[in-house]
Chain A
């Protein structure tokens, strides 16, 4: 059924069980899309966890997301979008048989991947320094938490009011304005929402306000703040892992391209790696607003 298509089997890139290159390419793309759908469903679990906990603790997400630096997030979005563009250009160049342009575009895409990971590393480092990380698991030997409430959460003091008084003086030393704002003991304006039969709407309850109408308290007492960071690290971590896998795949097609494997008739691997890379971008497009843009400060 096949060998009469002589031109098909003349091509070393055409596997023996395919009749034509067209068939092989479409099958490859079809398979890749099926694989991408598994990736979508892999992230579905993470999005589900995100939605459930945001639904349960909206205030935690609103407060905790302020610790994230949206500017770095936006920078990473721009980097990934640009690298997606260079990847699309790379695929175009491969289709046209322009080997050197393909290499250039793939290298540019790799730079995007590297840049993304560098920015991500800066962000992670910041979180670790301030202890704004997941809660940590109880150590089975000592009974302590790996990231114990006393040590790692002292800067933010969401879940543990008892330590608030001790933690509060430290925050200025860390110099993170977001943290300072979160811990601020003087400037948070009262939200005129206190209702019920006891306090008139729009009027600050006498005990909650000092004379200048500012909230006087130590810290917002948010339990479960660590869940946001747990989800943040798992989501961005899994995504970061995909960036690394994508970068490795790009290196692989880059080597093959330099070796001269690709022609206008056969450039399927570039196309498939491109699809994978665009999916990485696609997921970040959703992660960025969901994690970084929950509760930005309004225009001043």
Chain B
């Protein structure tokens, strides 16, 4: 890129457009750019002409001219107004396209810390943002040509997820989930888009089991987050094929002989939970978890512990995590009606809160299992039915 190129709009001023939504953004950028160039040249040229033509000199004095003209004033008020309307409209439609992820996205959870990123994949792989001797697997890996949604959450302060090549940015707000989506192609490293690619961007990742060809895009944090703000960057790796991505993640996800997070969860369940919580059946002393597996992804009605009102929740990671850690916050109505089990009897006598002594939060179990372990257990609960279906 040269400075000369930079005069001609998005091609020279913006990084390569390597997502499906980038082209539309660039088009609007160019549209605005050329109107701005037009008005800037108009204003400066008129100003320069007047400066020369009406410069103060002997024999020249100010000539009478009207001090106001309603018609002209209205014209130069109305014309910019008209020009602005389509810019707003296209900006808005483009924004909606950037905000609303398509339904079939490959979802990756991105957690922001001070000052690192953590990328959690559907396979259970859990990668950091930088390569270190201890962590040879790192970065945000995505399949080519597929809609990818990143679910953003923050550990404690604001961050922002920004990939310039995709024209994607969203703040990561503590206490909330935000998201961004993109669909990036895999581009051959010999193609012209790679002309100005940063030299340190890897084009291939070598691991002990294989070589992966990738496009590496810079990922930045753009919301100030403290000392390490400027070092909180990473790479987005677009693999050449989805198979290679899965292979890479499988390598990265090597959980000491386990294939998936769900298997890790099964192990944890057997050690920590199975003595009380069964999948189904009578005679249990604590809630069964089979219903969760049965209804995974569906809406059920629960009593909200805060308001004592029935509310609808979707059975999923959030609900299960919350129920494990704060059993009283959302009570599944069906559990009350499990006639005959010791658990339900206790419930009906109003004794369930006393069971909190036995529950998860604040107990030793919490110390062992931790956040990542909980995720494994959740994955296990989710997977139970799928395994049986097979």
Q: Which residues of A contact B (CB under 8 A)?
A: 59-60, 161-162, 164-165, 191, 193-199, 205-208, 210, 215-218, 220-223
Question: Do B310 and A164 touch across chains, with their CB atoms under 8 A apart?
Answer: no
**Chain B residues within 8 Å of A206, by CB:** 336-337, 348
Question: Do B353 and A165 touch across chains, with their CB atoms under 8 A apart?
Answer: yes
Segment 258-292 of B: residues with Cβ below 8 Å from A: none
Which residue on B lies nearest to A207, using beta carbons?
B336
In the assembled complex, B354 has its CB within 8 A of some CB on chain A: yes
Q: How far is the CA of A206 from the CA of B309 in the complex (A)?
A: 15
Q: How far is the CA of A193 from the CA of B348 in the complex (A)?
A: 19
Question: Do A161 and B328 touch across chains, with their CB atoms under 8 A apart?
Answer: yes
Question: Do A217 and B350 touch across chains, with their CB atoms under 8 A apart?
Answer: yes
Q: How far is the CA of A218 from the CA of B362 in the complex (A)?
A: 19
- Of the candidates A198, A216, A217, A221, the one whose C-beta lies within 8 Å of that of B301 is A198
Question: Do B350 and A210 touch across chains, with their CB atoms under 8 A apart?
Answer: yes
Which residue on A lies nearest to B330, using beta carbons?
A221
Which residue on B lies nearest to A225, using beta carbons?
B306
**Chain A residues within 8 Å of B310, by CB:** 193-196, 198-199
Question: Do A165 and B356 touch across chains, with their CB atoms under 8 A apart?
Answer: yes
The smallest C-beta distance from B172 to any residue of chain A, in angstroms, reads 21
Question: Do A194 and B306 touch across chains, with their CB atoms under 8 A apart?
Answer: no
Q: How far is the CA of A199 from the CA of B334 in the complex (A)?
A: 10
Q: Known contacts A191-B308, A207-B344, A217-B350: does B334 contact A162 (CB below 8 Å)?
A: no
**Chain B residues within 8 Å of A191, by CB:** 308-309
Interface size class of B (residues with CB under 8 A): 20 to 34
In the assembled complex, B23 has its CB within 8 A of some CB on chain A: no
Question: Do B334 and A198 touch across chains, with their CB atoms under 8 A apart?
Answer: yes
The smallest C-beta distance from B358 to any residue of chain A, in angstroms, reads 12
Q: How far is the CA of A252 from the CA of B117 in the complex (A)?
A: 59
Q: How far is the CA of A60 from the CA of B326 in the complex (A)?
A: 18
What 5 A-B pairs have minimum CB-CB distances, sorted nearest first? A207-B336, A216-B350, A221-B305, A196-B301, A59-B307
In the assembled complex, B125 has its CB within 8 A of some CB on chain A: no
Known: A59-B307, A198-B310, A221-B306. 9 other contacts (CB 8 A): A161-B305, A165-B354, A191-B308, A195-B310, A196-B310, A207-B348, A210-B350, A218-B353, A222-B306
Q: Which of B301, B308, B344 has the most CB of A within 10 A?
A: B308
In the assembled complex, B365 has its CB within 8 A of some CB on chain A: no
- Of the candidates A198, A208, A215, A223, the one whose C-beta lies within 8 Å of that of B306 is A223
Question: Do A162 and B333 touch across chains, with their CB atoms under 8 A apart?
Answer: no
Question: Do B353 and A217 touch across chains, with their CB atoms under 8 A apart?
Answer: yes
Contact with A along B347-359 (1 / 0, CB 8 A): 1111001101000
Q: Known contacts A161-B329, A207-B337: does B306 contact A59 (CB below 8 Å)?
A: yes
**Chain A residues within 8 Å of B305, by CB:** 161, 221
Which residue on B lies nearest to A196, using beta carbons?
B301
Q: Which of A59, A162, A164 has the most CB of B within 10 A?
A: A162
Q: Which residues of B contact A (CB under 8 A)?
A: 301, 303, 305-310, 312, 326, 328-329, 333-337, 344, 347-350, 353-354, 356, 361-362
The smallest C-beta distance from A59 to any residue of chain B, in angstroms, reads 4
Which residue on B lies nearest to A164, using beta carbons?
B353
Question: Do A162 and B356 touch across chains, with their CB atoms under 8 A apart?
Answer: yes
Question: Do B333 and A221 touch across chains, with their CB atoms under 8 A apart?
Answer: no
**Chain B residues within 8 Å of A220, by CB:** 306, 308
Q: How far is the CA of A222 from the CA of B354 in the complex (A)?
A: 18
**Chain B residues within 8 Å of A215, by CB:** 308
Question: Do B306 and A162 touch across chains, with their CB atoms under 8 A apart?
Answer: no
**Chain B residues within 8 Å of A223, by CB:** 306, 329
Q: How far is the CA of A52 from the CA of B301 in the complex (A)?
A: 27
**Chain A residues within 8 Å of B326, by CB:** 161
Q: How far is the CA of A164 from the CA of B354 in the complex (A)?
A: 10
Q: How far is the CA of A196 from the CA of B362 in the complex (A)?
A: 33
The smallest C-beta distance from A186 to any residue of chain B, in angstroms, reads 10
**Chain B residues within 8 Å of A222, by CB:** 306
Can you list 20 contacts pairing A with B, beta carbon distance less than 8 Å? A59-B306, A60-B306, A161-B326, A194-B303, A194-B309, A196-B333, A197-B301, A198-B301, A198-B333, A199-B333, A205-B336, A205-B337, A207-B333, A210-B349, A216-B350, A217-B353, A220-B306, A220-B308, A221-B306, A222-B306
Q: How far is the CA of A193 from the CA of B310 in the complex (A)?
A: 8
Question: Do B329 and A221 touch across chains, with their CB atoms under 8 A apart?
Answer: yes
Question: Do A205 and B333 touch across chains, with their CB atoms under 8 A apart?
Answer: yes
Q: How far is the CA of A98 from the CA of B335 in the complex (A)?
A: 77
Question: Do A221 and B337 touch across chains, with their CB atoms under 8 A apart?
Answer: no
Q: How far is the CA of A205 from the CA of B350 in the complex (A)?
A: 13
- Of the candidates A207, A208, A221, the one whose C-beta lies within 8 Å of that of B328 is A221
Q: How far is the CA of A206 from the CA of B337 in the complex (A)?
A: 7
